[in-house]
A and B are shown apart, each in its own frame.
Chain A
Amino acid sequence: MILAVAQKELKILFSSPLAWLILALVQLVLTWVFLAHLDTFLEIQPQLIKIANPPGVTETIVAPLFATAAIVLLMTTPLLTARLIAEERRNHTLPFLVSAPISIAEIVIGKFLGLMIFLSALIALVAALSLSLLAGGRLDFGLLLSNIAGLFLISACFVSLGLYISCLSAQPATAGAGAMGALLGLWVMDTVAADEDGAGIARNFSLLAHYESFNRGMIDTFGLAYFALFTLIFLMLSVRRLDNERMRG
Chain B
Amino acid sequence: MTEQIGSTAILARGLCRYFGTRVAVHDINLELRRGEVLGFLGPNGAGKTTIMRMLTGNLAPSAGRVEICGIDLLLKPRDAKARVGYLPEIPPLYRELTVNEYLRLAARLHRVESRIIRSALAKITQRCGLSNNREQLIGSLSKGYQQRVGIAQAIIHDPDVIVLDEPTAGLDPNQMREMRSLIRELGADRSVILSTHILSEVESVCDRVQIMHEGRTVFDDSIGRLKQKGTSLEESFVRLTMNQATV
What is the interface of chain A, defined by CB distance below 8 A to chain B?
Answer: 1, 4-5, 7-8, 11-12, 15-16, 91-103, 246-247, 249
Contact = CB atoms under 8 A, between A and B. Distances in A.
A25 B111 CA distance: 39
A103 B79 CA distance: 11
B86 A12 contact: no
A92 B95 CA distance: 12
B93 A93 contact: yes
Contacts of A92: 88, 90, 92
A101 B84 CA distance: 9
Contacts of B219: none
B92 A93 contact: yes
23 contacts: A1-B109, A4-B105, A8-B94, A8-B97, A8-B105, A12-B94, A15-B97, A92-B90, A93-B92, A95-B88, A96-B153, A99-B57, A99-B58, A99-B84, A99-B86, A100-B106, A100-B109, A100-B110, A101-B111, A246-B59, A246-B60, A249-B17, A249-B59
By secondary structure, the A interface counts as helix
B60 A247 contact: yes
A68 B191 CA distance: 59
Interface in B46-93: 53, 56-60, 77-79, 81-82, 84, 86, 88, 90, 92-93
Contacts of A8: 94, 97, 105
Contacts, number: 74
A15 B97 CA distance: 8
A103 B92 contact: no
A101 to B, nearest CB: 4
Contact of A97 (B17, B56, B93, B109): B109
Nearest to B62: A247
A74 B101 CA distance: 32
Contact of A93 (B77, B94, B111): B94
A101 B82 contact: yes
A102 B58 contact: no
A92 B94 CA distance: 10
B108 A1 contact: yes
B96 interface: yes
